Amino acid sequence: MNVGLTRRHVLAAMATPALGSCALLDRLSAAPALPREFRAAWVATVANIDWPSRPGLPTAVQRAEMITLLDLAQAIGLNALVLQVRPAADAIYPSTLEPWSEYLTGASGRAPDEAWDPLAEWVDGAHARGLELHAWFNPYRARHPSAQSEPPLAHVANTEPAIVKRYGDWLWMDPGEPHAAQRMLDVVLDVLWRYDIDGVHIDDYFYPYPVKSPQGVDLPFPDEPSWQRYLASGGRLARDDWRRDNVDRLIERLYREIHATKPWVRFGVSPFGLPRPDRRPAGISGFSQYDTLYADVERWWQQGWMDYLAPQLYWPIGQAAQAFEVLLQVWRAGNEQQRHLWPGLFTSRLGAERNAYDAAEVLAQVQRTRRVDASDDGHLHFSMAALLGNRDGIADRLRAGPYAQPALTPVTPWLAEPKPQPPAFEWHRRIGGSPELHVRQGDGPPLRQAVLWHRQAGFWSWQALPLPAQGAFAPAAGADRLLLLGIGRSGLESPALSLRVNGT
């Protein structure tokens, strides 16, 4: 069970602090392992899918909607959100590199009606509720068909028109242009330096999905100038392989530079859910991202150029040609580097006009992502709109069913995060009341959370409090043992402190 933030503020005049006695334990003794599962939802800003609900809303309304989504995520039992911060070469935060997004302010390049930093408030609000916040970037998209305003002077379509191509109703940065990749890297590193995010996330938009001509033929992507320059420079790859190589190099650079900047930040990719045609089991068919989006996801997976893979398994369990469980096993089998595999679920199909799911389908898919004795299971819901609307009771059923018991996000042990140390603590006892354990950051690396184990009549239970905000635990009545530990930014656990039960 998680302790709410209402325990953070204890009246100082009524409390007498006392340093608690403790012993440092190398292990949690008889306490079981903490439950771990990545439970996340995407928060899409493009076309105002999830947040804000409409473009150009007053800042106060946008903030209220943000708080509603954060509170809902916590109440359901999620432990992470994936927020779209760069919908189309724009920003939902103040940036010197790209203009404000029209999905936030109503017109591309227009500042909010009040000075505020939405991303900073999302990060702080998530962490205060014990949620991770992953920043979601679209690498190449420069303008979405839903856009209503013209790109401002500061937009890449005007500052660097040579790298932007019109493709149907889209504007797209050409992946064959080296500066398109460099812009993406610059934007990601700017966010990494300025915000305490937990992850960097990209989805399935690499080269664009095909646009068809009036005759129904796929239009070629207009990258002839960059292709000819490649050939003139001595390039020998076939055109399709060259396109894949452009994307490969961006993925590898992102992985390396993210971890060189902040080693504890996870890098995740959420590609289209079908493997390349030559890696599919019998009976699986459909769109090939390898041949059309030029995304060699299997290579990235094999090389370990991501900390988690979230393939979009957006089909029902019973759909043979794209069978959910078969595809899940294919991606698991290719996980040579033992990274996290957290598939995306199409929860927004609940109530859809066509091919609709019911809540039982989503719950069954959640169950399929779980393995016996696994500590790195997980999944993501697309998207928060379905959970906010509680379609077919899905939010209630998740809360009462698979999320009834809380879980921390899985450990990512290959990241170069220093070993966490236990949090600092003091006992406070209100006059005539029971003791409360106040925790705060200790002397070691920053912690995301503090965890207190209680043993009662031989059974263990646990509570978690977010840090760095100061909080307080109320030890369970009748507990005969307490263990306190910290959770680092990549999920690592500190050594445990054994505390006196009476708080003296």
Enumerate the domain spans of the chain: 5-33+415-499, 38-400
CA distance 157 to 174: 11
Residues 6+ apart with CB under 8 A from 44: 50, 51, 84, 382, 383, 384
CA distance 344 to 194: 28
Given a cut of 50, the residues of the chain with pLDDT beneath it are 1-28
CA distance 314 to 212: 23
Q: Token pair of 345, please?
A: 């679920």
pLDDT tens by residue, 151-194 = 999 999 999 999 999 999 999 999 999 999 999 999 999 999 99
- CA dist list (Å): 62 to 144, 146, 478: 21, 20, 45
Residues 6+ apart with CB under 8 A from 79: 37, 38, 39, 40, 130, 131, 132, 406, 407, 408, 409
> CA angle 447-448-454, nearest 5°?
90
Strand pairing partners for 496?
25
CA distance 433 to 428: 10
CA nearest to 344, candidates 376, 384, 311, 366: 311
Long-range contacts of 56-59 (CB under 8 A, 24+ apart): 56/105, 56/106, 56/107, 58/113, 58/114, 59/112, 59/113, 59/114, 59/116
pLDDT (0 to 100) of residue 29: 54
Q: Which amino acid is at 504?
A: T
* Domain boundaries 5-33+415-499, corresponding CATH code: 2.60.40
Which CATH class, in words, describes the domain spanning 38-400? alpha beta
Q: Token pair of 266, please?
A: 């996870």
CA distance 476 to 20: 17
Farthest-apart Cα atoms in the chain, separation? 83
Helix (H) or strand (E) holding 184: helix 178-194
pLDDT (0 to 100) of residue 378: 97
- CA dist list (Å): 256 to 10, 189, 265, 299, 429: 44, 11, 11, 16, 49
pLDDT (0 to 100) of residue 30: 61
- CA dist list (Å): 140 to 157, 238, 241, 424: 12, 22, 18, 45
CA distance 200 to 211: 28
Q: Which strands sit side by side in the sheet containing 164-167, from one edge to the other?
A: 141-143, 170-173, 164-167
